[in-house]
Amino acid sequence: MNSLLLSLALAVTPAPQAVDMAAGEYRLAPVPSLSIAGAEQADSLRLARYASQHGFSVPRGKSKTNIRLVASENSAPAEGYKMTVGKKFIEISAADGAGLFYGLQALMDLRDEHADGRIPCMTVTDYPRMPYRGMMLDVSRHYRSKDFILKQIRAMERLNLNRLHLHLTDAAGWRIESERYPRLNTVAAFRPDSTWKEWNANGNQYGGTHGGFLSKEELREIVDYAADRYITVVPEVEMPSHSEEVLAAYPLLSCNKTGRGNSNFCASSEATFEFLRGVLDEVMEIFPSEQIHIGGDEAPKGQWLGCPDCSALMDSLGYESPDYLQSRLIRRMEDYLASHGRRAIVWDDALEGDGPTDNATVMSWRGTEPSSVALPVIMSPGRFCYLDSYQDAPSTQPEAIGGYTPLEFVYRYEPDTAAVGLQGNLWCEYIPSDSHAEYMLYPRMLAIAENAWTEPQRKNYDDFRQRALKESVRMRSEGFTVFDLTTEKGNRPEALAPVEHLARGCEVTYLQPYWQNYPASGLQTLVDGICGGWNYSDRLWQGFAQSTPERVDVIIDLGVEKAVSSIGATFMQICQPDVWMPEHVEIYAGNDPENLVMLREIDRVRTPDTAVSFETFGWEGNVTARYVRYRATAPSGGVLFTDEIVVK
């Protein structure tokens, strides 16, 4: 890449698809004049208003200017644009208003990069890789104000993101004004505890002074503000589960009619469907988006098996599994939306049972690939796109839900080419403040945006990181809280290079099976020389959770008798998901696997904390042995994760 092209690449995010440099430069005036031609009236007004607010002069009438936005059917694909920077003019052409808007964003990036006003001559041909490019804000777990949401829309507009998914309802709070069901606002929107953690620890009570909801007027303002930036707001109303707040307000909608102990709506009650239709009527009144997200994830369907009415309905319909009760509910709501010209988005859990109708779009958080589903799929896998995880060494960061998802890891994710969209999700159980939310979003949302816009062959992480650094400076100057990439410590040091030791590559016999949900590399995990990073989500840590008690118990065959001076294994502890250090460890060695000698026995008291911590449990000394046995037992109800048994 030549220096001029590098200069452009460092300026425009997401990176454009094609750039052809030319000789010369355009001298940009301090307040450049800009004209708009050929666009629909609504687009012309929208673009003129936006440009005027961002340092451009937009003369009325048909005044000739040196910077022109031109709508043309023969221009780039939908939402794409072509920008030509000549010595005497700049022209941005596009087939639609969105394309002109994104071309204007690229010009603004160039203006920021070339503060002296000297913009190199070039032609940029650009278009989005995916039609759906989204960011999700969870405003249920901690209420966010209208002003906070508008601020995030301003960040989205600079990144060519076009969908704002608002997770408006969940157990922790209902955030939409409802005139039809007022107890959703007087009961379900408030709680006695200010943070989700306190609320969860204190028994999930409702009512009180903490929380709130967005009025219909505020939500319409958010919708209009986003639309002026070619962003569609997609509302989500959870069903059939994650609905404890609704059931607290309207307990007769639950299977047990008390609301307590149930998270699902009663799937057999027509009152449930009447309520959900009424809610969707109010949602559709506020949000003009074609797509409405109706949830469908993580329903504990066993609740329905304990309900006489739901069980009777299953029998009458011949359902073998409660999965089909969920499908029935989801499909009825989809049909209701379709009767109003709308389409449903559902989480990929809703594929269970009969699945959704052919009219739905699937949002994949568990990794369901488009190639396995005969429906449009928006990728949002938790491993790569959940931004509530740590983005650097946990000890250096504010509290997160766990995980380790640094900027580079997000950027290097390549979604299935058949996906119709990509979305970054910010869940906020552990994120009580606005500044903390922004800190978790940025700059990782820049990586999501580029992955959704830029073709893979045009991506380059080193180049992107330099642009992310510059964009972070700009965002801070505009009042955003952004993670500081210049202080990034990176992954756990032990994970950066393989470790050589006597057991590497040796045969391992598992006397207790490992957890199939977290197999890492299977039978060779504990002797492959590869240590794990800051969290088991990297799939380098092997889990042990299905034996009784949960236990690591393996014998390693060193092949021949060897002099051994140390044996050790490292475990992690993250208390919230019940990942614990072992409470008891036994280390053996010898030449007869049936009659090994215990070298050390270790007892550890279970010590809860809020940190992500690591500890090595080992033995040091001198012994000759062919076989090594390592046993580690978890506290009751706990899960063990270890990455390598190092023998030296």
Task: Report d(CA 444, CA 548) in Å as an integer.
Answer: 40
DSSP 8-state code for residue 574: B
Task: Report d(CA 371, CA 272) in Å as an integer.
Answer: 34
Catalytic status, residue 578 = no
Q: Of residues 298, 414, 455, 484, which has the active-site annotation?
A: 298
Element (H, E) at 382: helix 382-385
Considering all CA atoms of the chain, what is the largest pairwise distance in Å, rounded to the nearest integer? Answer: 94
DSSP 8-state code for residue 87: S
Q: Which among 514, 524, 556, 453 has a CA at the least distance from the CA of 641?
A: 514
What type of residue sits at position 312?
A
Task: Report d(CA 470, CA 449) in Å as an integer.
Answer: 16
Catalytic status, residue 297 = no
Burial state string for 15-39 with b = 16 or more CB within 10 A and e = fewer than 16:
bbbebeeeeebbebeeebbbbbebb
Tokens of 61: 């009438």
For 487, the 3-state DSSP assignment is helix
Q: Which among 322, 425, 300 has a CA at the least distance from the CA of 366?
A: 425
Parallel, antiparallel or unpaired: strands 613-633 and 551-573: antiparallel
Task: Report d(CA 509, CA 648) in Å as an integer.
Answer: 19
How many residues are recorded in the chain? 648
443 prior amide bond cis, ω within 30:
yes
Catalytic status, residue 179 = no
Give the Å distances, CA to CA, from 100 to 82, 130, 155, 376.
9, 17, 18, 27
Parallel, antiparallel or unpaired: strands 210-211 and 421-426: unpaired
Element (H, E) at 569: strand 551-573
Task: Report d(CA 71, CA 411) in Å as an integer.
Answer: 33
Task: Report d(CA 118, CA 519) in Å as an integer.
Answer: 56
Q: Of residues 242, 244, 392, 501, which has the active-site annotation?
A: 242
Task: Report d(CA 298, CA 144) in Å as an integer.
Answer: 24
**Distance between first and last Cα of the chain:** 47
For 622, the 3-state DSSP assignment is strand
Task: Report d(CA 556, CA 645) in Å as an integer.
Answer: 9
How many alpha carbons lie under 13 Å from residue 444 in its C-beta half-sphere?
A: 29
Angle at 367 between CA 137 and CA 341, to 5 degrees: 60
- For the CA atoms of the chain, what is the radius of gyration? 28
Q: Which among 62, 12, 54 has a CA at the least distance from the CA of 37?
A: 62
Other beta carbons within 10 Å of 573: 20
Q: Of residues 170, 236, 392, 538, which has the active-site annotation?
A: 170
Task: Report d(CA 557, CA 630) in Å as an integer.
Answer: 12
Handedness of CA 428, 431, 435, 438 (dihedral sign): negative
Give the Å distances, CA to CA, from 195 to 386, 575, 612.
20, 18, 21
Parallel, antiparallel or unpaired: strands 361-364 and 232-236: unpaired
Q: Which residues are catalytic?
A: 170, 242, 298
